[in-house]
C-alpha cells in the first residue's frame, strides 16, 4: 500500500480511521478515477468503477441493517425512503468532502483541469469504492463500521425529526395542496414524562384523517416529526390533484391503501418511527 500512502495525507487516514495494520490491496484501485487509468499506457488498467458497483450493494445492506435496528416500528416504504436519504449521491459526496477524500483520488490530467476531483458523482463513487475495498480486504465487519460512519451525520438529522435539507412542515403543505386538499392541521395529543424532560405528542391531519404522528421536546419539534412521519409514508405515486379529496390524500401520504400494509384511515403512524429523540436501540 506504500504507493497509495504517499498520495494520502496523514490526516485523511486518521479521519477514515482505517488503521495501518494489515494490507489494503484494493485501496489504490478504490481511489483511481477512470480518467487516470485511461491515460496510462500499457499494463493492466484498473479504476474504481467495479468496486463502486460492489460498494453500492455493501453500503446499502449495512445502512438497511442500521435503519431496521434504529427504527423497529418503521414500515417497508419508510425504511426505503430513509435509506435513500442516507446513501444518495449528495449524502455520500458530503461525507467524502468532510474527510477530504477528493484530495486522495488519482484523476487524469484533463479531469484535474475540469475540476472533476470535487464533483459530486465522482466523490460518491469513490466513497462506495472505498467501502468495497474495505469489505474485500478486511471483511464485512470493517465495511459495516465504515458504512455506519458514512451514514452517521444524515442519520442524526433523521432521528432528530428534521427533514434532510428541507423543512418537513413546508414540504408536507406543498404536497397536500398540490393534491387540492386543505392545509394540514396539527393537533396536540398529549404530553409525557416529568417536567424537566417533557415530550409532546402531536398528530397531523388532512381533512380529518390522521396521516402521521410525532414526538418532540417542544410542540414545534413534535409537529416537524409528525410531518416527517407523513412524508416518510409517501411511497405511492401521486394521484392527479383534481381527483383527490381529503381521504385520498391521507391514503396516498400513508403510502398504501387499507389492507395493503398502511395503517387504517384515522389511525396514527407509529410514533416510534420518527421522533425528536430517536427511538431507543
**Active-site residue list:** 56, 128
Location of C-alpha cell 494489515 = 22
| Beta strands across the sheet bearing 185-192 | 185-192, 199-206, 209-216
C-alpha cell, 90: 449528495
Distance CA 252, CA 244 (A): 9
Which three-class secondary structure state does DSSP give residue 22? coil
Closest of 223, 208, 220 to residue 265, by C-alpha: 208
223: nearest Cα among 210, 211, 232, 214: 214
Rounded to an integer, what distance in angstroms lies between the CA atom of residue 164 and that of residue 178? 21
CB of 101 closer than 8 Å to CB of 123 = yes
DSSP designation for 255 = T
SS3 39: coil
Cell for 135? 469489505
CA 94 to chain centre: 11
Amino acid at each position: 500500500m506504500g504507493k497509495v500512502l504517499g498520495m494520502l495525507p496523514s490526516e485523511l487516514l486518521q479521519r477514515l480511521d482505517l488503521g495501518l495494520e494489515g494490507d489494503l490491496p484494493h485501496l489504490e484501485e478504490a481511489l483511481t478515477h477512470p480518467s487516470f487509468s485511461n491515460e496510462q499506457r500499457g499494463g493492466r488498467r484498473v479504476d474504481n468503477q467495479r468496486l463502486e458497483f460492489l460498494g453500492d450493494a455493501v453500503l446499502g445492506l449495512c445502512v438497511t441493517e442500521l435503519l431496521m435496528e434504529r427504527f423497529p416500528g418503521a414500515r417497508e416504504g419508510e425504511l426505503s425512503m430513509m435509506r435513500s436519504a442516507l446513501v444518495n449521491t449528495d449524502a455520500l459526496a458530503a461525507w467524502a468532502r468532510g474527510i477530504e477524500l477528493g484530495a486522495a483520488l488519482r484523476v487524469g490530467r484533463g479531469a484535474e483541469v475540469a475540476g472533476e476531483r470535487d464533483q459530486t458523482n465522482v466523490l460518491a463513487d469513490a466513497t462506495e469504492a472505498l467501502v468495497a475495498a474495505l469489505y474485500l480486504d478486511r471483511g464485512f465487519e470493517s465495511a459495516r463500521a465504515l458504512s455506519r460512519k458514512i451514514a452517521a451525520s444524515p442519520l442524526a438529522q433523521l432521528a432528530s425529526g428534521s427533514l434532510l435539507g428541507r423543512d418537513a412542515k413546508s414540504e408536507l403543505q406543498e404536497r397536500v395542496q398540490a393534491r387540492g386538499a386543505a392545509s394540514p392541521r396539527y393537533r396536540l395529543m398529549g404530553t409525557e414524562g416529568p417536567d424537566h424532560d417533557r415530550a409532546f405528542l402531536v398528530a397531523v391531519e388532512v381533512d380529518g384523517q390522521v396521516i402521521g404522528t410525532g414526538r418532540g421536546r417542544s410542540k414545534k419539534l413534535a409537529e416537524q416529526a409528525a410531518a416527517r412521519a407523513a412524508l416518510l409514508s409517501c411511497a405511492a405515486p401521486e394521484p392527479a390533484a383534481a381527483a383527490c379529496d381529503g381521504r385520498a390524500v391521507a391514503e396516498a401520504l400513508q403510502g398504501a391503501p387499507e389492507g395493503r400494509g398502511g395503517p387504517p384511515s384515522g389511525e396514527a403512524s407509529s410514533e416510534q418511527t420518527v421522533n425528536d429523540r430517536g427511538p431507543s436501540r
